Amino acid sequence: MFDERTFRVRDGFLSGPAPLESRFRRAALVNLALSPFLLVFLLIYFFMHNVSQRRFSSCRGGLHTVHEAVRAFSYCLHSCPP
C-alpha cells in the first residue's frame, strides 16, 4: 500500500478500489475463520476462571463457619454448670 522509500501511497491503490477491496475481503475471511476458536477459548477461560474463584471463596467461608461452630460449641460446653 505504501512505498517504503518515498512514504507515499502507491499508484496501484489510487487507480481504483479493487486491490484495497480484495485485501479487506481476505482480512474478513481470516477473521471469520478464526472467530469460532476465539469464542470457544474465551468461553472456556470465563467458566474456568469463575469456577476457580467461587470454589476457593466458598471453601474459605465454609471453613470459617466450621471454626465458628466449633468455637461456639466449646464455649457452650465450658460455660454450662456441671
- pLDDT tens sequence across 9-49: 877 777 777 878 888 999 999 999 999 999 999 999 888 87
Q: What span, in angstroms and rounded, lies between the C-alpha atoms of 72 and 64?
A: 12
Q: What span, in angstroms and rounded, lies between the C-alpha atoms of 15 and 37?
A: 37
Q: What span, in angstroms and rounded, lies between the C-alpha atoms of 47 and 59?
A: 18
Query: What average pLDDT is seen over the chain?
Result: 77
Q: What span, in angstroms and rounded, lies between the C-alpha atoms of 82 and 76?
A: 12
First to last CA, the chain: 93
Q: What span, in angstroms and rounded, lies between the C-alpha atoms of 7 and 78?
A: 87
Whether this model's pTM surpasses 0.75: no
Number of folded domains in the chain?
Answer: 1
Residue 33 is part of which domain span?
Answer: 2-79
